[in-house]
Amino acid sequence: MTEAELRAKIRDLMASGILPRDLPPIKRTGPGEGIPGAQMLIGEQPDQVCTVCEARGPQVAYIYRGRAIHRAATH
């Protein structure tokens, strides 16, 4: 997928509501702190696909308002 194609797909996903316009701020917190239900997972997730490019094994996942958004390292 070209950079232009990725940008167009991201715009479409945002317009449809699949991707939120803003993710919660990422900061290190202690137990019971931070935004309830929001988290960031780092590390390959072989059973998932990237929300944008659909590549298997994305390296980052954002869990936000009960929704998981996966991201491959290539974009």
Mean pLDDT (whole number) for 15-43: 73
Full-model pTM: 0.69
Quote the domain boundaries for residue 30: 3-71
Mean pLDDT (whole number) for 21-38: 66
Domain count, the chain: 1
Mean pLDDT (whole number) for 56-70: 84
* SS3 (DSSP) at 9: helix
5 to 1, 13, 40, 49, 56: CA distances (angstroms)? 6, 12, 26, 17, 18
